[in-house]
Structure 1
Amino acid sequence: MPPFVVHLLALLHELSHGPATGTETGLFSEPNTGLLTLLGTLSAAQASEPVAAGRPCPAAFVGHLAQLLRFSAASLCGTPEFPDFAAPWQVRHVSPDEWQQLQRELGGAFAALRAVVVRGRLDEDRLNEALTALTHAATHTGALRFHIANVNSANPHGREQAG
């Protein structure tokens, strides 16, 4: 496997799960800061709250990321199906089951992109496409990390706000 593919896979892993097991820090983050881990700290109610007035909720970002990564994986395989790219941004509220499902979908989308990168031969165009997907995902991951840190620092003792 070419070194750039190994590095791309490390970046994908760090975005989704955090730095490789057994390392103190990653390429750009600390342990336990993978997006899938951090999303697990949010309740469905917190995932349904907009990140700021007039902005989407975390659940919408997660739906968008899952869609983006699935689309990128399919595109790298040469079989893209163009979804309704506006649909994830319409999410305003998720139930606990819906929130869990969105997180599973995101995990599956990260895994799908990883699988395509592992088995595919990335020519220059496909490498650019994979890097574009990674950069897009990293941008939203950073925003979600920041938001989750704010939510968790505002509510350090539990997932649900007191009633």
Structure 2
Amino acid sequence: MTPDLLRETLREVLYGPDLKFGMGTGLFSEQEAGLLRAAHALTFVQARTPAGPGRPCASQVVIHLRQHLEHTAALLRDPYALRPDEPEAWDHAPGTEREWRGELVRLAQAGQALYEALFMPLDTQGQRTAYAALLHAAYHTGALRFHVANLQAAQG
């Protein structure tokens, strides 16, 4: 994938497809169906509600994606970058609405950090790393959107 295509794909995963070409869908999503919109659609209570018995809550998915995007951006800058010393996403959920809002801000910042890293010259391994991160984020975004839709259907 070219750097331009990687950046365009990241924009789609984060915000939904660019509709300037008149198409209603993109590679991974439909209009207004990006990760940031899906995450921001969740209330604090919804974010802490598991998708089902033994399944993670939406906030854990968001934290996982934030951590993954941050780490990928760090790896693209330095192939030996270590993950930050913080709790695993699957073992932690924000305890307050303020913490949840903070995670949403950090998610957007992680997306921006990866976007900026995609302007660096990337070797083949860097391109693979970036592409894998985008596919991973697209996959979890789809799961998050499904979870949001289920929560909204149950409430309405």
5 Å matches for 1:105-124? 105-118=106-119, 120-124=120-124
Q: Tell which deviates more after alignment, 38-47 or 86-95.
A: 86-95
5 Å matches for 1:35-54? 35-54=35-54
Q: Tell which deviates more after alignment, 21-30 or 4-13.
A: 21-30
- For the pair 1:6 / 2:7, whether they are aligned, the reply is no
CA contact (8 A) 1:14 1:26 kept: yes
Name structure 1 gaps, 5 residues minimum.
157-163
5 Å matches for 1:50-69? 50-69=50-69
CA contact (8 A) 1:51 1:147 kept: yes
- Give me the TM-score of the superposition, normalised by structure 1: 0.85
Q: Which residue identity does 1:100 align to in structure 2? A: R
Deviation track 1:33-58 (CA, whole Å, cap 9, x = no partner) reads: 01111111110011001111011111
How many positions carry a matched residue from both structures? 153
CA contact (8 A) 2:25 2:31 kept: yes
- For the pair 1:82 / 2:83, whether they are aligned, the reply is yes
Name structure 2 gaps, 5 residues minimum.
none
Partner of 2:126: 126
Which whole-Å CA distance do the structure 2 matches of 1:111 and 1:25 have between them?
23
CA contact (8 A) 2:13 2:141 kept: yes
Distance 1:86 1:100, change over 3 A: closer
- Give me the TM-score of the superposition, normalised by structure 2: 0.89
